[in-house]
Amino acid sequence: MDLTIPDHEQSFREEVRDFLARAMTPEIREAGRLTTSVFAPVKQAMDWQRILHEQGWAAPHWPREYGGTGWSVGQRTVFAEELVRAGAPPLIPMGLQMCGPCLIGYGTEEQKAHYLPRILSGEDIWCQGYSEPGAGSDLASLKTFAESDGDHYVINGTKIWTTYAHHANRMFLLVRTRRDGKPQAGITFLLLDMATPGITVEPIVGLDEVPEQCQVFFDNVRVPKANRVGEENDGWTVAKYLLTFERGGQDYAPGLGVQLEQLKARARRQATATGSLADDPLWRRQVADCETRVLALSFTEQRIKSALSAGKDPGALSSMTKILGTELQQRVTELAVDTLGAQALLWQPGALVPGGGEAPLGPEYALTTMASYLNARACSIYGGSNEVQRGIIAKAVLGL
């Protein structure tokens, strides 16, 4: 056992850091600062993706032949950490992190050749059609039906919690293609063009007043069967792969660490009668409580990656990092609200739009703090609620 960082990773870190310092425009930096969700403002996120793509770094985790970087697990971690530290807006994951890997794993050669370059370049913006009003945590009970009609499917039904459907030009989705048998068995994985007739997108305004999610309605929407990924009725296999990825594919600890450092800097500027909030023992205890948990999570993520590098399947452990990461994220945003006191109540959604031009009536971070807190309430719900994840651990790990 050792914590040694190979020399080449250290120099790689320098390289990434230099690049980011150079490549991030003021607009990109502003978007990073104003991002209060896992989903960054779409325009700046896509701009940033194009810049990374020029460098060949848009999809480090993809195989090299499809435009990946060929980096080691360690290098990918370094890259992700440096992005977080530099305050870059996160890239929109539906294409790069979800649809792309799915196509690489299960797509036909034609699908790969057509879609992967457009995902990489940002020409296509994807959304994910999984949840339905009656099928949230219980995804397998989805009802949106795709009737076979020659070389097409005809889709009727509705999807909900479809992030950025109002920005996307493509959707990957799960549909039911058979009504009998086990619920998981009759599901098929499809790709579609959002411009297809019969699709209606209705944005859903969130607690933070941002329409991040949508409901999407399908009224006799015709999709060519060539757009099917995997076999008919076998979409659950692809779906499960994606779910695992959605949960465990990211590291939470680096971002949490950065947020806690920022929080400490802010507390140093919150004056008390005798010094600053950063000196207050009770406040320090709250931060230390978070920091010790982040330290534990960080090493857990390292352990999982170490197992991955050794070719082991971490399996249900992605459920653990999803629970721990999201609940810590919620706690850290809550502590940030506490740190600002009443100043966190200032509500200026207009000032949170990058380039919106509305001047904040207080420090910029006072604006993002509340919006982040509100938005973070969702992270224990999406991607399979944390209740579902605990159930997975109980069953898959503990055998209950």
The torsion defined by the Cα of 93, 98, 101 and 103, in degrees rounded to 10, comes to: -120
Query: Using CB distances below 5 to 8 A depending on partner kind, what does residue 326 bind out of another protein, a second copy, none?
Result: none
The two three-digit tokens of residue 46, written as one number? 């896509």
Instruction: Give me the least distance between CB of 221 and another protein, in Å please.
Output: 23
Q: From CA 342, how far away is CA 356, in angstroms rounded?
A: 25
**357 near a second copy, judged by CB under 8 A:** no
- Smallest CA-to-CA distance from 249 within 99, 117, 399, 376 is with 99
Please identify, among the stretches 69-77, 246-254, 281-289, 344-352, the one whose residues bind a second copy according to the rule CB under 8 A.
Answer: 281-289
For the bound state, the minimum distance from the C-beta of residue 282 to a second copy, rounded and expressed in Å, comes to 6
Q: Which helix (H) or strand (E) holds 217?
A: strand 213-224
285 binds a second copy (CB under 8 A): yes
Whether residue 246 lies in the annotated active site: yes
Angle at which helix 364-376 crosses helix 317-340, to 10 degrees, equals 140
Farthest-apart Cα atoms in the chain, separation: 77
Nearest to 301 by CA among 248, 261, 257: 248
Selection from another protein, a second copy, none that 123 binds (CB < 5 to 8 A by kind) is: none
Give the chain's end-to-end CA distance (angstroms, integer). Answer: 32
Site string for a second copy, 238-277 (x = CB under 8 A): ----------------------------------------
Nearer to another protein, 1 or 21 (CB): 1
DSSP letter (8 states) at residue 170 = E
Residue 390 is a binding residue for a second copy (CB under 8 A): no
CB of 315: closest distance to another protein in angstroms?
13
Which residue from 283, 309, 185 is spatially nearest to 237, judged by alpha carbons?
Answer: 185
Report the nearest approach of another protein to the CB of residue 127 (Å). Answer: 15
In the complex, least distance from residue 272 CB atom to another protein, rounded to whole angstroms: 5
The reply to whether 281 sits near a second copy by the rule CB under 8 A is yes
- Given the residues 81, 212, 246, 301, the one annotated as active site: 246
Q: 3-state DSSP call for residue 311?
A: coil
**Active site amino acids:** 246
Which positions touch a second copy (CB under 8 A)?
281-282, 285
